[in-house]
Structure 1
Amino acid sequence: MLTKADKQQDNNDLPPPSGAVGRSFLSRWTSLVGWMGIAGGIAVCLLSISAFIAPGYWFTDNMSFFLRQFFGAGLCGFLAGASGLTVAHRQPRLYGKAVLVLAVLLITVFGLMAARIDAVTSSTVNAPTTTSSSLRVVSINLERLFLADETLSAFLQQTKPDVLVLEETAWGWQRHRWQRRIGATPIAGHGALPDHLFAGRLGDLVFFSRFPISASKTIDVIGNAETHDEADREILSLTLDVDGAGLKLLALHPASPRTKPRWLDRQAYLATLNNQIQNSTADTTEPTLVIGDWNLSPWSGHFLKMLTDNNLRTAFPGGIPQTTRFFFDYRLHWLLGAVVDHFAVTPDIEIQRVELGPDIGSDHLPLIVDVAIQNRANAH
């Protein structure tokens, strides 16, 4: 018959409960960090996917601005979770399944992002013939940067744009400061600024061109003034005479959708823009270029719809969307930034090159686009 001491000795000889092997202080913390990484990774992946499945809502559509950051955070969470596989867990099977779920979600998010970029860049291209005219179009959100600023002037001297589209120009303030600083010298044609000028009625959008402007108008888009300042916006519609060929250009700058009312204003603006594009492509066979600060993510369903509905396509520097609007400091632009400055063209425009300019003192980087259109006057 076993004594009490024998029973105690038998209990001491039993193996420890499953999952308790090697549960040192370090392994417990590694397990905790792994679980936290997995939970955070799954959360940001779900937020990312929501931008694709529910673009009709303010919150989920705005998630499309942060997809790069979400994917990076999800990847870090996966690495933390994967490192946790090296230690024991109280529920090892559940932990392994959680890591697998996060891996599947990350692959899904990456696939959705890649497919969306392919969708907005792919289109039937009718390349111009050898008798074509090339031009450089530069778009800059100035954030009220003075037109005679030394850094901006040096950039324009180096880039030599044929067409310059400016947003957040504050044209009235620019002219007033120009008169005080420069004097009576005309703004158009000064330094590297092209000779032909057209400013929108609100002064937010301003257009310079080396080519003559054969037609121009401002389309007013009335916003909800009770919700935020500067609710009213404008679209510039211009036709350029490019070496005998007509080029239709639309410049835009809708409201930033940081709140739901602003998002609704942006959606109304995009609807007006869509009508303008449809009218332009229906009434004329001229190639059309749309450019500016769209305040719209390239992964947004609304960006895709705008391009597919009008048979437009775009391109990105190096084929990858890169930060055009940064926050706090340019050195953090990959971490704290968004892709909001875009262009789109009809199939009869050849995209030759796309790149971003340097930090010039604004909170946006210049968007530089080289395109070519057929010179109909010489094409026979």
Structure 2
Amino acid sequence: MNTIRLTLFYLVLVTGTLLIIATLLSLIYDVRFWYIKALDFPRLQVLIGLLVCLIVFASFSKHWKLPSVLFLLGLLASIVLQASFILPYTPLADKAVETAAPHTVEEGSSFSLLVANMWMENRQAAAFLKMVHNANPDVVLAMETDKWWTSRLNPLRQRYPYQVLHPLDNTYGMALYSRFPLEGAEVKFLSHEKVPSIHTKVRLPDGSLFVLYAMHPVPPKPSEHPDNVGEEEVALLKVGETVAQRQLPTVVAGDFNDVAWSRTSRLFGTGSGLADVRVGRGLYNSFDATSSLLRWPLDHVYVSGEFRVLELERLPKFGSDHFPILVKLALEE
């Protein structure tokens, strides 16, 4: 084995071992160790790395002694574990929310929702307004909106006469714009006094009503802004408990600061009885729009069983570190 092949062999050995360890550590759930929870995010990237290591190692190894066999089994086991998290978010899995055929949807019973984290440092308001104009959603949820952003989004008021605006300079401001009437809209603070969520009913043109919860829970990593280091995510789970007692069709949407397959997301889905529109359709990685490699799904839409999906799309970036997510839903009560 020449020098280059030997170097590559040991590189794969070291890399594969680290990826196996990372896979095992990612199964540990302890709110005290945010850096272990962070291993929950790059599962797709780790899976790809494991597959590359498996292919290269198998092509190099000619004498399968016990250490080689154990390493190979470690790679295979890690691949299965990582794939088990990713598989539901591919077209290979069954859809958690059924697809509606457009011709079966009654007039006035459907709506489109745009979920967009603006990134407070981003100042490309014109690009966002142009995107909203082109996509023409019925409801726009904008997050990380400070006073600068809400002032720049004033043109939306002409098209969306119903709004709930709560600008903040701590990256947790929210703005909700709706073409349809909002009833009983409230801004609530569920786990942090400076992290709002918007709770409102939305009246569709056919007269039907549904509840919308707009959420932006804090991240589990250390931050100069509010965070959840060393704590369980409370806000999302509180909403899940409320939704479980629901009497109306319900949508929960926003930047959850957590991946779709995380323990918290799964607990929320199970406890609330809501389903993730991504499941069975694709990853729709919404963060980080500034990186081509490190991307994962952080912006979510969960719906109750009365809804069907007409469209689901990740829109082009507009200057934010998040891609916007656009979903069109039909309410079938």
Q: TM-score range by the shorter chain?
A: 0.7 to 0.9
1:232 is aligned to 194
SS at match of 1:233: coil
SS at match of 2:241: helix
SS at match of 1:189: helix
Question: 1:299, CA displacement in angstroms?
Answer: 1.7
Which runs of no fewer than 5 residues in structure 1 stay unpaired? Answer: 1-23, 179-185, 224-230, 376-380
1:102 is aligned to 75
Question: Is the contact between residue 34 and residue 230 of structure 2 (CA under 8 Å) also seen in structure 1?
Answer: no
Among 217, 227, 240, the alignment partner of 1:254 is 217
1:111-260 to 2 correspondences below 5 Å:
111-114=84-87, 130-131=105-106, 133-144=109-120, 145-146=122-123, 149-170=125-146, 172-175=147-150, 187-190=155-158, 193-200=159-166, 202=168, 204-221=173-190, 223=192, 232-243=194-205, 244-259=207-222
Question: 1:207, CA displacement in angstroms?
Answer: 0.1
In angstroms, what is the RMSD of aligned CA positions? 3.3
2:285 is aligned to 323
Which runs of no fewer than 5 residues in structure 2 stay unpaired? Answer: none
Q: Could you say if the C-alpha distance between residues 154 and 305 of structure 1 is closer, same or farther in structure 2, counting changes exceeding 3 Å?
A: same
- Distance, in Å, in 2 between the alignment partners of 1:163 and 1:116 is 25
User: Percent identity among equivalent residues?
Assistant: 19
Question: 1:112, CA displacement in angstroms?
Answer: 4.1
2:228 is aligned to 264
2:9 is aligned to 34
The list of structure 1 runs, each at least 4 consecutive aligned residues, that deviate by more than 6 angstroms after superposition, is 124-129
More helix by share: 1
Q: State whether structure 2 residue 312 is matched by structure 1 residue 348.
A: no
1:71 is aligned to 47
Q: State whether structure 2 residue 25 is matched by structure 1 residue 50.
A: yes
1:297-339 C-alpha deviation (Å, 9 max, x unpaired):
1121111000011111012297221321116x3xx43x12222
TM-score scaled to structure 2, two decimals? 0.83
SS at match of 1:325: coil
1:255-298 C-alpha deviation (Å, 9 max, x unpaired):
22223996536955x4233323433452x521110111000111
Question: Bigger shift: 209-218 or 38-47?
Answer: 38-47
Q: Could you say if the C-alpha distance between residues 369 and 37 of structure 1 is closer, same or farther in structure 2, counting changes exceeding 3 Å?
A: same
1:295-374 to 2 correspondences below 5 Å:
295-316=257-278, 319-326=281-288, 329=290, 332-333=291-292, 335-374=293-332
